Structure 1
């Protein structure tokens, strides 16, 4: 793609990087066939190619974002399926992230939109606030139909509808400290406890620590670690995202310096995609660039890490059919495609791939709140494809997908690591169907 940026414009590192990305696009349109919003809406401007044209025009002319640009950029899930498809290596992720930051700086959103986005940024990254908000949502749930009928209030209705009926007790695993492995020491890792996941499903991190400890891996929860920054990053709140990244880089650097780390374990693939990008996000910060790159190189999804370790013999039977839902952030963002399924098969599960597995379920961070109608359409399509495989349960590696898909089916959906922990001697996950004993 030919570009016409001035030397003055290219002095901005963000613009310069976007210009390099734009020049790689050859207009081939391969991305349109795998883009969930284009497949759903059929509008060229809701495809990666269409959004690239809008971003190019906005940045090249150095103008503020307008309603048209914001509408179509906001509809992007950042599922990154286009990057898997693209034959030219266009880094759409970095381009759309820069566009969102530009929108945040130059566009004044409608009042209710600003309130909703501000509320999400103020609550979701903080477990204590998020837990309190879920208790409040239980009281507000009866008002969801009313909010859905009011202009600009559909996101509020979606928030109430997505809130769980009950909130689990906080897990001790999230507190700073060390969990030593048993037997011969096979490694030392840190774990990202996260923000939304330990509130919604604390058992995921508990299962991770139990499993790693049983196979001889020490697990450290560093003081000062928090939200990865993905939620605010995808809202264009660049300053907040970078501050979250720096905080985590500092926490994990202290753990590296105090005994070393073999890996930083991530149990939510959406977080993993962002943390693996810390080196890029902080590339212009001389105090953090090198440290952030080291953190990104150490970051591993739990299945990515376990795939490199010899697992023990199964303890509990797993004679069950599993539909494996590969989260977009897992297959497109991190390019982890075979390891989770290989681990599940080795544990005794029969693993099936649902049709259209490359298409997003509609969760995408806060997307199912901010774009509830598109998200619901994508969820229903995803559930229909999963149910076609006639599974006993669904396995996935991302809390957002678990919450989203569970809203459309009665089939149990369980995190991959919870299933592995159970097979290798851990607790039976809630909702797991009966299985044969070995």
Structure 2
């Protein structure tokens, strides 16, 4: 793609990077076939190629974002399926992130929408505030159906519907600490506690810690670590995202003095962002080197486990598990086979749904900000999943799990919880709830 940025514009490293990305696009349109919003809506401007044209015109012309640009960029899920498909290696992720930051700086959203985005950016990364918001949402959850019928209330209804019926008790896996290996120590890792998952489903990290400890791996939850910054990053709030990144880098860098084999992540959306810290902070002289070092050892939990000798299954498995591959894992991190391999080794019968490359509609805050499109994508995803006849749906991202659980009675369980259960851990709570039992361990 030919570009016409001025030398003054190219002096800005963000603009220079976007110009190089734009130049790599050859207009082939392969991305349109795998873009969820284009598949649903059939609008060229809701495809990666269409958005690239809009972003190019906006950035190249030095223009403030328009309502038209904002509408179509906001509809992008950042699922990154286009990057998997693209034969030219266009880094759409970095381009759309830059566009969102530009929109945040130059576009005045309607007051109600602006207030909602500020609220989400303030509450979601803050675990205490998020827990209180969930308590309030639980009170209003029975009214979600009524609220949905009111004018301009789709977003509020979507948020109420996402609230869990009950909140788990505070967990040791959500507080700083060290969990020693069982027997001789074979490795030492840091495990991301994060924000939303620690409140919604602390059992995921509990399972990861149990499993890793049994495998001889010491797990540390460092003091000072928190939200990865992905939620605000994808809302264009760049400085807030970088502040979260720096805090985590400081926490993990301090632990590296004691030796770390890896920084493990059980929420794949966070993993994609943490692996990008080196790029995000490349222009920060105080953090560029540290950020690159952190990104270099960041791993999804499935990546790390796949490199360890497997534990033998101690339970009767064989259940049919349909694996939902989160976009942030298959497209953002290019991790595809490890989770399925691990589940098969543990004795599960692993299936994959049709259209596995398409997003389920969760995408961070997308299911709250674009509830109509999100609901259509969830219905499409669940139709394909249910066609495989699963006993269990497995996934590696809390956002996907919450999204899918809204529309199915089939238990939705994190991959690491199933691996822990198969090798001696307790039955995952979604399975307990589905079966109405509490398994003894």
- Give your verdict on TM over 0.5: yes
Task: State the 1:153 CA deviation.
Answer: 3.2
In the alignment, structure 2 segments of 5+ residues that lack a partner are: 436-441
User: Where does residue 415 of structure 2 map in the other structure?
Assistant: 416
User: Where does residue 321 of structure 1 map in the other structure?
Assistant: 320
Query: How far, CA to CA, are the matches of 2:139 and 2:327 in structure 1?
Result: 33
Instruction: State the SS of the aligned residue for 1:333.
Output: coil
Query: How far, CA to CA, are the matches of 1:176 and 1:415 in structure 2?
Result: 22
Instruction: State the SS of the aligned residue for 1:395.
Output: strand
Q: How does 1:62-101 map to 2 (within 5 A)?
A: 62-101=62-101
- How has the CA–CA distance of structure 1 residues 313 and 144 changed in structure 2, closer, same or farther, with 3 Å as cutoff? closer
Q: How does 1:252-331 map to 2 (within 5 A)?
A: 252-257=252-257, 259-331=258-330
Query: How far, CA to CA, are the matches of 1:13 and 1:157 in structure 2?
Result: 41
Q: Deviations over 1:407-433 (max 9, x none)?
A: 111111100000000111111112327
Query: How far, CA to CA, are the matches of 1:142 and 1:394 in structure 2?
Result: 26
Task: State the 1:139 CA deviation.
Answer: 1.7
Q: How does 1:217-256 map to 2 (within 5 A)?
A: 217-256=217-256
Q: How does 1:338-353 map to 2 (within 5 A)?
A: 338-353=337-352
Query: How far, CA to CA, are the matches of 1:87 and 1:147 in structure 2?
Result: 45
Instruction: State the SS of the aligned residue for 1:431.
Output: helix
Instruction: State the SS of the aligned residue for 1:394.
Output: strand
Query: How far, CA to CA, are the matches of 2:196 and 2:283 in structure 1?
Result: 29
Indicate if the aligned counterparts of 1:158 and 1:372 stay in contact, CA closer than 8 A.
Answer: yes
In the alignment, structure 1 segments of 5+ residues that lack a partner are: none
Query: How far, CA to CA, are the matches of 1:68 and 1:400 in structure 2?
Result: 28
Q: How does 1:4-15 map to 2 (within 5 A)?
A: 4-15=4-15
Instruction: State the SS of the aligned residue for 1:160.
Output: helix
User: Where does residue 213 of structure 1 map in the other structure?
Assistant: 213
Q: How does 1:387-426 map to 2 (within 5 A)?
A: 387-426=386-425
Task: State the 1:47 CA deviation.
Answer: 0.2
Query: How far, CA to CA, are the matches of 1:172 and 1:47 in structure 2?
Result: 44
User: Where does residue 130 of structure 1 map in the other structure?
Assistant: 130
User: Where does residue 49 of structure 1 map in the other structure?
Assistant: 49
Q: Using structure 1 for the length normalisation, give the TM-score.
A: 0.97
Q: Using structure 2 for the length normalisation, give the TM-score.
A: 0.97
Indicate if the aligned counterparts of 1:181 and 1:219 stay in contact, CA closer than 8 A.
Answer: yes
Query: How far, CA to CA, are the matches of 1:256 and 1:285 in structure 2?
Result: 20
User: Where does residue 113 of structure 1 map in the other structure?
Assistant: 113
Query: How far, CA to CA, are the matches of 1:300 and 1:27 in structure 2?
Result: 33
Matched, 1:3 2:10: no
User: Where does residue 187 of structure 1 map in the other structure?
Assistant: 187
Matched, 1:360 2:359: yes
User: Where does residue 154 of structure 2 map in the other structure?
Assistant: 154
Instruction: State the SS of the aligned residue for 2:393.
Output: strand
C-alpha root-mean-square deviation of aligned residues, in Å?
1.2
Instruction: State the SS of the aligned residue for 1:190.
Output: strand
User: Where does residue 203 of structure 2 map in the other structure?
Assistant: 203
Instruction: State the SS of the aligned residue for 1:408.
Output: coil
Indicate if the aligned counterparts of 1:112 and 1:152 stay in contact, CA closer than 8 A.
Answer: no
Q: Deviations over 1:140-178 (max 9, x none)?
A: 234434543445432122111110111111111111111
Query: How far, CA to CA, are the matches of 1:102 and 1:147 in structure 2?
Result: 33
Instruction: State the SS of the aligned residue for 2:253.
Output: helix
Indicate if the aligned counterparts of 1:112 and 1:153 stay in contact, CA closer than 8 A.
Answer: no
Instruction: State the SS of the aligned residue for 1:390.
Output: coil
Query: How far, CA to CA, are the matches of 1:221 and 1:265 in structure 2?
Result: 10
Q: Deviations over 1:231-286 (max 9, x none)?
A: 000000000000000000000000001x1100001000000000000000000000
User: Where does residue 166 of structure 2 map in the other structure?
Assistant: 166
Instruction: State the SS of the aligned residue for 2:331.
Output: helix
Indicate if the aligned counterparts of 1:325 and 1:394 stay in contact, CA closer than 8 A.
Answer: yes
User: Where does residue 368 of structure 2 map in the other structure?
Assistant: 369
Query: How far, CA to CA, are the matches of 1:200 and 1:402 in structure 2?
Result: 11
Q: How many residues align?
A: 434
Query: How far, CA to CA, are the matches of 1:183 and 1:149 in structure 2?
Result: 58
Instruction: State the SS of the aligned residue for 1:323.
Output: strand
Matched, 1:28 2:31: no
